[in-house]
């Protein structure tokens, strides 16, 4: 089984992909999608969305896990993290319907 994991963030989105048979695991790919700090927030979301879509097409995972937002320092940052997480859920959902 191939598993693709995503750690959402508005500046940096981490990802990792592994193959596993349940007892042995092999790293396929890992890295971070980094957006320019001065870019408008909607452009960052689109850039990360497109990069994730490309990675999912390339690695063709059997399942995708996206980390939940569990901590935010204030309402504004929680809202941004919510937007970031939502944009990370779109590529796997679209890939599953094709």
* pLDDT tens string 30-45: 999 999 889 988 888 8
Domains held by the chain: number: 1
The token duo for 31 is 């890295």
Per the structure, the complete domain to which residue 53 belongs is given by 2-96
Specify the pTM: 0.76
The domain that holds 63 is classified in CATH as 3.30.420.10
Query: How far is Cα 90 from Cα 21, in angstroms, rounded to an integer?
Result: 27
CA distances from 33 to 9, 46, 54 (A): 9, 12, 12
End-to-end Cα separation, the chain, in angstroms: 19
| pLDDT-derived band at 15, boundaries 50, 70, 90 | very high
pLDDT computed for residue 69 by the predictor = 62
pLDDT computed for residue 55 by the predictor = 95
Whether the predicted pLDDT of 94 surpasses 50: yes
Q: Which of 4-8, 32-36, 57-61, 77-81 has the lowest mean pLDDT?
A: 77-81
């Amino acid at each position: 089984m191939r598993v693709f994991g995503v750690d959402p963030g508005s500046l940096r989105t981490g990802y990792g992909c592994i193959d596993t048979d349940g007892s042995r695991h092999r790293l396929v790919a890992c890295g971070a999608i980094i957006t320019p700090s001065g870019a408008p927030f909607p452009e960052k979301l689109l850039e990360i969305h497109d990069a994730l879509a490309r990675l999912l097409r390339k690695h063709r995972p059997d399942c995708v896990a996206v980390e939940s937002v569990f901590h935010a320092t204030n309402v504004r940052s929680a809202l941004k993290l919510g937007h970031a997480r939502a944009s990370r859920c779109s590529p796997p959902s679209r890939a599953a319907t094709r």
